[in-house]
Structure 1
């Protein structure tokens, strides 16, 4: 049977470079650590370490064994930390960022609800349409929408998000509804924070550059312009669903709507997340969908 104390002693000796340092970490004597490593070598039938009075060095077998074993104890420590944190109360300051309008309407109320449950927790909520660098600017979480490009972060999908190309009935009395992406060139397109709209053609993501005489980085302003018949706009469902239901807006080009969009909680790629981060993301995943139109 494998003796894990022998393996742990070997791993700590390699990591820390000496038997004495490993003994301090494990809170045992140096002779005990040496004895455990020798027992492991006898068990495996090979030499794992070359020992001299000044240093130790891995043998070829020791290198292979270390590469296969060291991550196991990292996993054990992570598991222990996760269990200890499972019932821990969130503490410190929770720093998060979100797009301005979405944050005001949907994220901020849930942040406040979460702090009502955990009054000992501080909150720093920063709303901006700029892409924030979480690590450089010291944020724990970003709420992001759409297609994610940054693979250096950990993302959890909170809920679905669909984008519609919409126009008012009054607008469509002046121009026919488009049925192909190429027809957008003949329409007044209301340009938001990006000058390209995203679609899917035969399952492949495609971007179409749009132009028009109206431009704003404000979602509510874009919605108002579409409602007043100034042109076509591409907006997410939580803006347009009530107006589609009332008939104030008409959705077009639905056959080309892409489905790889969502609302995400994004965090830096730490090996272990603190209770405040983990519990708040769980809280968002549970409650955010019910806040959005059409999700109840």
Structure 2
């Protein structure tokens, strides 16, 4: 016995006054409606209705059960309608995890534009450069930058992420401009601690080898700090253009070793499921698609 169906059959019988009218309302046979009510009574161990040839009479137990059961069914209907709204209209709290520097520089206009298009969606943005577990930590979506390895998660590529080797004009004037990766042995390196060593190419591998270059390196888990240090003349950095692009455009940094540019990475939107995707998540992914341009606006520095 389906208890909800049996409960609905009983409530409809009481409200309609007869099994026949209840059957018409529920679009089932009177025999099935009667069977549901009998099964419900057997399950509860009490008689809910006294049946005569002319009329139905509620027992005391039936009156009490009818009142509460009607409220339960209304609550279920309300809940299902609300969940239906979540699928048909973007609403509710959207929890997003994003890299620190990327989010600070590029996500405020994106989120503002998204909420203008979807005003019923609330945003909870958490910034972290570590790889979060979106299921365990309760995120709807994570933005990740890198070369994604296979996993059970769904990943949509949003934009390319170009890596450049750069330094300030003052630093290059003082220490010289490297023409080949092996020239980096005599330079200071501003190293990002989360950099993927296997994927960034020849320049990064030269800079990674401590024995190949001079003392005075700097390491940080934040790219903005390293870019600002490079602008100040502290050394050479390999950084994504979404961080370094504005400084390059303004002449504060110069791209070097352009012919040995590290392998590009990408910005991905990562989420847990493809099926029955909540409208708020689906709408955000659709909004992200093409938002940054091709090439992305941070790469338009010539």
| Gaps in structure 2 of 5+ consecutive residues | 1-26, 29-83, 211-215
Q: Within 5 Å, give how 1:1-296 maps onto structure 2.
A: 88-194=88-194, 198-200=199-201, 207-208=205-206, 209-211=208-210, 212-289=216-293, 292-294=297-299
| Structure 1 Cα separation of the partners of residues 90 and 145 of structure 2 | 26
* Structure 1 position 195, deviation (Å): 6.1
Are 1:166 and 1:250, in contact at CA under 8 Å, matched by a contact in 2?
yes
Larger displacement relative to structure 2 (190-199 or 132-141): 190-199
Paired residue total = 213
| Structure 2 Cα separation of the partners of residues 192 and 99 of structure 1 | 13
* Structure 1 position 215, deviation (Å): 2.2
| Structure 1 Cα separation of the partners of residues 116 and 165 of structure 2 | 38
Cα gap change, 1:170 to 1:148, in 2 (>3 Å): same
* Structure 1 position 213, deviation (Å): 2.9
Matched with 1:75 is none
Q: TM-score, normalised by structure 2?
A: 0.61
**What is the root-mean-square deviation of aligned Cα atoms in Å?**
3.2
* Structure 1 position 174, deviation (Å): 2.4
Are 1:98 and 1:126, in contact at CA under 8 Å, matched by a contact in 2?
yes
Matched with 2:71 is none
Cα distance per residue 1:134-188 (max 9 Å; x no partner): 1111111111112112432211111121011101111112223223333333210
| Structure number, greater radius of gyration | 2
Cα gap change, 1:169 to 1:162, in 2 (>3 Å): same
Q: Secondary structure, in 3 states, of the residue corresponding to 1:282?
A: helix
| Structure 1 Cα separation of the partners of residues 200 and 177 of structure 2 | 17
| Structure 2 Cα separation of the partners of residues 271 and 146 of structure 1 | 25
Q: TM-score, normalised by structure 1?
A: 0.63
| Structure 1 Cα separation of the partners of residues 132 and 281 of structure 2 | 17
Larger displacement relative to structure 2 (249-258 or 188-197): 188-197
Cα gap change, 1:210 to 1:94, in 2 (>3 Å): farther
Q: Secondary structure, in 3 states, of the residue corresponding to 2:287?
A: helix
Q: Secondary structure, in 3 states, of the residue corresponding to 1:258?
A: coil
| Gaps in structure 1 of 5+ consecutive residues | 1-26, 29-83
